[in-house]
Structure 1
Amino acid sequence: MMQIDDVSWSRSLRAIFGEGMFAAVGARRRDDWRLDALDVMQLRTGDPRGWPRVVMAPAGSNYGAGLENPFGAVTPGEFNAAFPVARSGAEQIMVTLQGEWFQTEDIQDFDAREAELTSHARVILERFGVDALFFTNAVSARENPHADMFGREGVYEGFTSHVMDCGVIAVSATEVGIFWGFTTD
């Protein structure tokens, strides 16, 4: 595993996440990681390392911590729709967030950019260490956490009121990260 710092983190975060996306990390303070994930989703906690986050609404404004936040109404019970996924699958899902419907065919010049985008996703997830667990709402992971997430069906258990949302939850012993994309129409 490579050692990442705030510079490599920031570079990779900017390469993958932009308008209409959510990428934030918070401290893991409880045995039940879902409660810490909810704090991150609802912007009730900051990054424990002080590294940047991206919480950009589709119109280009920042998501707030109130009900305008896409995760404002999420409850701990909704994490039942978060399925374990392998690290490689989590990387693939993060790459597909570039596409409007979270599929590789919706990513401009995907064939030429696949290696670069996957490298950026790998850098982001390296932060969580070798023992990290990953979860997604992509239904393909429910049956097979090791499935090829580039070739998965476009079915998701939504966490928000948007038309479609998809993402990755990264959980380590010390941190929880939320990496999500939204389709609004």
Structure 2
Amino acid sequence: MNQIDATLWSRSLRALFGEGMFAAVGARRRDDWRLDALDVMQLRMDDPRGWSKVAAAPGGSDYGTGPDGPFSAVTPGDFSTAFPVSRRGAEQILVTLQGDWFQTEDIPDFDAREAELTSDARTILERFGEDALFFTNAATARENPHADMFRREGAYEGFTSRVMDCGVIAVSATEVGIFWGFTID
């Protein structure tokens, strides 16, 4: 694994996450990572390294922490629909968030861009180290955490109040990252 810094992180984050998306990291402070993930989702903590985040609602405004935030109604019990996924699968899901319906066929010029997008996803997840765990709400991972997430069914366990959402939760011994995309309601 490569050592990444704030500049490389920011470049990869900008390449993969834009309007209508969410990418933020917080400190892992509790044994139950779900509580820390919830704090990150609801923007109740800052990035422990001071690195950039993306919390851009459709139209360019910031996702707030109030009732309009995409994760405002999420509770620790909702994490039962977050299924373990391999690192490769987590990278692939980060890439598929580029498509309107989180599928590769909805990503403009995917065949030409696949290697670059995958490299950016790998960079983002490298931050969490080799021992990190990854979770997703993509239903394919429920049955097979090692499935090819580029070729998965388009079924998701709703994690937010949005019509459709998909994402990855990255958990290390010291940090929790939330990387999520939403369809426009």
Normalised by the length of structure 1, the TM-score is 0.99
Aligned to 1:14: 14
Aligned to 1:28: 28
The Cα of 1:115 is off from its aligned counterpart by 0.2
- Aligned length in residues: 185
The Cα of 1:110 is off from its aligned counterpart by 0.1
Aligned to 1:144: 144
The Cα of 1:84 is off from its aligned counterpart by 0.1
Gaps of 5+ in 1: none
Matched residue type, 2:15: A
Measured on the aligned residues, the alpha-carbon RMSD in Å equals 0.5
- Superposition pairs of residues 85-124 of structure 1, within 5 angstroms: 85-124=85-124
- Superposition pairs of residues 118-137 of structure 1, within 5 angstroms: 118-137=118-137
Please give the per-residue CA displacement for 1:110-169, whole angstroms capped at 9, x wherever unaligned: 000000000000000000000000000000000000000000000000111111000000
Query: Partners of 1:79 and 1:60 in 2: how far apart?
Result: 28
- Superposition pairs of residues 40-59 of structure 1, within 5 angstroms: 40-59=40-59
Aligned to 1:78: 78
Query: Partners of 1:22 and 1:106 in 2: how far apart?
Result: 19
The Cα of 1:58 is off from its aligned counterpart by 1.1
Matched residue type, 1:42: Q
Query: Partners of 1:156 and 1:9 in 2: how far apart?
Result: 27
Matched residue type, 2:156: Y
Aligned to 1:39: 39
Query: Partners of 2:127 and 2:65 in 1: how far apart?
Result: 24
The Cα of 1:59 is off from its aligned counterpart by 1.3
Query: Partners of 2:42 and 2:67 in 1: how far apart?
Result: 9
The Cα of 1:67 is off from its aligned counterpart by 1.2
Aligned to 1:66: 66
Query: Partners of 2:100 and 2:66 in 1: how far apart?
Result: 25
Query: Partners of 2:26 and 2:68 in 1: how far apart?
Result: 20
Does structure 1 residue 169 correspond to structure 2 residue 169? yes
Matched residue type, 2:38: L
